[in-house]
Amino acid sequence: MNLSPKISGRWISRLSFSVLMIMGLLWISASQSFAQQKLSTTIYLDYTYYLSNQGPITNPQGDPNFKNNFFTFRRAYFRYDNKINDRLSFRLTFDGDYVKAVDAAGKKDDKFRPFLKHLYFQLTDIIPSSDLKVGLTDTITFKMAEDRWGYRSVAKEIMDNYKDVTGKDIDAYSADLGVSLTGKIIRQLRYGVMLTNGAGYSHPEGDKYKKLMSQIQLIPVAGISIVGYADYEKQTATAKALTYKGDLYLEAIKNLTLGAEYFIYRNDLNVLNDQRYNRAGYSIFGRYVLLPDKLNVFARFDRYDPNNKISQDEINLTIAGLDWALIHSSLRLQPNIWFYHYNDPAKNNDLVFNMTFFMAF
C-alpha cells in the first residue's frame, strides 16, 4: 500500500521525533549512571638526595660509592568508585610498588608492579548513621591519623613507617580483608569495629585466627577529637598480640591542623632474654594553609622505640616541608627534609632531602 507524501512525511517526522526522544532518554540515563562512577589516579614520585653520608640509612654498608641520589615512584594508585545508589557503593583500587624478587634463573627481578589494595562494597545506614564495608578495605588502625596528617605522599604514619629502618615489624596494616562497621552514636561520639584476617592486603590468611579492632572517638567541643583504639589477635594457641593507641586532634583554628598519637604494641612472641618486650612510639604533627589551594607548610616529629628492653635504641625523626600547587591542585611540589637522630651513640645521624611530586587526577 502506498502512502501519500503528506502521510509519509508525517509518519517519518513522528518516527524521527520518537527516535530522538528515545536517544535523549538513553543519554540522560547513561549520564546519570556515569555520574555515579569515578576513575581517579594518585602518584607519588620522589627525587631523593642524601645530604649526609655516615648514617645507617645514607650509607648502610660504609661504602663511599653507595648511591646517594635517585628517582623513584613510591606509589601509583588507580581507583574505580561506583556509587550504585545512596546506600550501596563499590571500590576497586590498584596500587603499585617495587617488588623485590629473584626469578627462576636467579636473575634479580624488581619491576614496579601493580597489586590489589582495595576491593569492597559499602552499605550506608544499614543501621542509622553507620557504614558497613565488606572485602579488602582500609583498616581503622591509623586511617584517622593519616587523614589528619594529610601527607601520605611524604611519609607514612608512625606505625607504618619504621619497618624498613629497623627491620622489625608492627602487626598493623593500612588495608586488610574482612568487615568493618563505623558510625556515630551521637554527634559527639563515634565508633569503629573491624574483624579481619590480620595478614594485611599483601598476604593471604596464614592461620585460623582473626584480628579484632575497635575505636572510640570523642568530640567534646567542635575542633577537638580524642580517639582511643585497641586491637587483639591470637598468634598461636598460647600467644596473643595487642595494640593500644591514643590520638588527639586540634582543628579549631582556621587553616591549622595539629595532631598527636601514641601507641604500644605487645606481642607474646617478641621475647628477649626470656622477657617479652614492647614496641612503642609517639608522633606530633601539624600543617598550616599559608595560601588557600596554593601553599601549605607541614612538620612532624616521631619518636620510635623498637624494643623497650634495650636502652639507647630509640629513633627520633623530624620532617619538615612545603606543599606548593604550582599550576593546579592536581600537581603539587612537596620539598621535604628528614632528619634522623639516633640515641645509640655508635650511629651517626641521617639527613635526607626529598623533592616529592604529588599527582592526583
Give the separation between CA 322 and CA 301, rounded to whole angstroms: 16
Contact, 70 vs 48, CB < 8 A?
A: yes
Give the separation between CA 114 and CA 112, rounded to whole angstroms: 7
Do 26 and 90 lie in one domain? The reply is: no
Sign of CA dihedral 57, 60, 65, 71: negative
The domain that holds 104 is classified in CATH as: 2.40.160.10
Cell of 237: 594457641
Residues ≥6 apart with Cβ < 8 Å to 8: none
Do 22 and 159 lie in one domain? The reply is: no
Per cent of the chain over pLDDT 90 is 70
C-alpha distance across the termini of the chain, in Å: 60
Give the separation between CA 307 and CA 54, rounded to whole angstroms: 24
Cell of 156: 607514612
**Segment (H or E) for 16:** helix 5-35
Contact, 56 vs 66, CB < 8 A?
A: no
**Domain membership of residue 355 as a residue range:** 36-360
Do 209 and 287 lie in one domain? The reply is: yes
| Other beta carbons within 10 Å of 215 | 22
Do 90 and 180 lie in one domain? The reply is: yes
> Distances in Å between the alpha carbon of 95 and those of 115, 140, 201, 273?
5, 19, 11, 40
Task: Give the chain's domain count.
Answer: 2
Do 47 and 20 lie in one domain? The reply is: no
Place of cell 612503642: 280
Do 13 and 103 lie in one domain? The reply is: no
Do 82 and 2 lie in one domain? The reply is: no
Radius of gyration of the chain (CA): 26
**154-166 pLDDT, tens digit each:** 999 999 877 766 6
Residue 324 is which amino acid?
A: W
Q: How are the residues of the chain apportioned to helix, strand and coil, as percentages rounded to the nearest 5? A: 10, 55, 35
**183-229 pLDDT, tens digit each:** 999 999 999 999 999 988 888 888 899 999 999 999 999 999 999 99
Cell of 129: 548513621
Contact, 113 vs 95, CB < 8 A?
A: no
Do 201 and 112 lie in one domain? The reply is: yes
Cell of 110: 624488581
Cell of 6: 503528506
φ, ψ for residue 177, nearest 5 deg? -95, 120
pLDDT at 181: 97
**15-30 pLDDT, tens digit each:** 444 444 444 444 444 4
pLDDT at 81: 96
**50-85 pLDDT, tens digit each:** 999 889 999 887 676 778 899 999 889 999 999 999
Give the separation between CA 160 and CA 169, rounded to whole angstroms: 9
Do 199 and 98 lie in one domain? The reply is: yes
pLDDT at 97: 81
Tell me how many helices (H) and strands (E) the chain has. Answer: 3, 18
Cell of 306: 623498637
Do 212 and 238 lie in one domain? The reply is: yes
φ, ψ for residue 199, nearest 5 deg? -95, -10
Do 159 and 182 lie in one domain? The reply is: yes
Do 1 and 95 lie in one domain? The reply is: no
